[in-house]
Amino acid sequence: MHNEDKNLLVILSSPSGVGKTTLTKKIQQKYSSFKISVSHTTRTPRSNEVEGVDYFFISAERFKEFIKESRFYEYAKIFENYYGTLKKNVDEMLKNNDLIFDIDWQGTKQLSKFKNLNLIKIYLITDNKEELKKRLVKRDQNSPEEIEKRFNAFEEDIKHWSDYDYVLINKNLDVCFKQIENIILLHKKKKIHLLS
């Protein structure tokens, strides 16, 4: 089977606070074929997070067992915690759905090695770093130290933009959503065309 015949895996990566989570949820709400890939993490849940919806929260011991057993398509250590995508979950959901991944550049590199996956890699950036800091503070999900860490990771993170198929500047959420929709529809059209 050619990659084009398969369901899409859309990766959205960005520095913290660029709006990736909001955009991911908007795509899923508008396109019922899309499901969000739920990662496993060793991070402590935030007060608004739900087990199995935002993440599967597991211990570092369990996570390391999963690594040993090669159960991840990809995983990374980010801000002192592990995050990873289980092969089983992805393969199961891909049978009937397109998938969206909210993962970082390290995970994107690892997923790119699986040539059998029909990946679209999108990197989101902001043209306004001060705005980014305001958003990180406003969303009130991290301690001041964590906000500082996430803000400082910006420069390192954006070095990896060239590993992606598309780089979008999120100046306006609605415009950015439209751009993502256009990218998805373009790839969907290709698929329909190839199947007909």
Least Å distance, CB 158 to ligand 5GP, is: 12
- Contact between 76 and ligand 5GP per CB under 6 A: yes
Least Å distance, CB 37 to ligand 5GP, is: 7
Is 82 exposed, middle or buried (CB count within 10 Å of its CB: 0-12, 13-18, 19+)? Answer: buried
- Contact between 87 and ligand 5GP per CB under 6 A: no
- Contact between 78 and ligand 5GP per CB under 6 A: yes
User: Residue of minimal CB distance from ligand 5GP?
Assistant: 107
- Contact between 16 and ligand 5GP per CB under 6 A: yes
- Contact between 17 and ligand 5GP per CB under 6 A: no
Residues in 135-164 that interact with ligand 5GP by CB under 6 A: none
Q: Output 77 or 189, the one with its CB closest to ligand 5GP.
A: 77
Cβ contact 137:147 at 8 Å: yes
Q: Output 147 or 191, the one with its CB closest to ligand 5GP.
A: 147
Residues that bind ligand 5GP (CB under 6 A): 16, 39, 43, 74, 76, 78, 83-85, 102-104, 106-107
